[in-house]
Amino acid sequence: MSAMISFAPLERDAAEFLTQETGIEFRHIDFRHQRWFCVTARREEDDSLMGVAVAEFKVWFDCHFSCAIADQRCMSRKLLRTMFSTLFRQAVRITALIDPANQTAIEQTRRMGFVYEGFLRLGVEGNRDALIFGMLREDCRFLPGYHPATASITPLFLGGHHHGLQS
């Protein structure tokens, strides 16, 4: 099994897959705009999707990262190193917003080196809560100079509600 990797703007099926997997609407976005960085992995044998990742520069120093994986084998160290080294040429930080119930995404995000930073009420499209994860260059295990983060926001108990996720 080998993957074909594209850094071109997302095709319709890739945007649909990302929308279905993340619950965030990506189908009507013009990914040709320079604020978007896109990665699509497809099987060489049948052109089927293995994974899709996008990063949108919300401001010059911070990009928001979204990812959907159908086959983990597409996420090679080489691909992750290429993606993150490209993003950190401009970004000071990369932000990922994760649904608190999506344990698989939380684990995958942590494995990539993201650090839990907090809870964002209705932070996904204004209708879903999100856990905030961030990555600085030194947090990225795929780049030279990696230093595991030693700090993470601890859970807060406010008004009888738990907001946070223990590291």
Mean pLDDT by 10 residues, the chain (167 residues): 92 97 94 96 96 96 96 92 96 96 92 94 93 95 80 55 50
Provide the whole-model pTM.
0.85
Q: Where are the domains of the chain?
A: 3-163
Residue pair 116/167 in contact by the 8 Å Cβ criterion: yes
Nearest-5° angle of CA 108, CA 18, CA 144?
A: 40
Question: Which homologous superfamily does the CATH classification assign to the domain defined by 3-163?
Answer: Gcn5-related N-acetyltransferase (GNAT) (3.40.630.30)
How many residues make up the chain in this entry? 167
From the list 73, 82, 74, the residue with the least C-alpha distance to 55 is: 82
* Distance in angstroms (rounded) separating the CA atoms of residues 119 and 43: 36
Residue 72 has which token pair?
């983990």
The residue type at 107: E
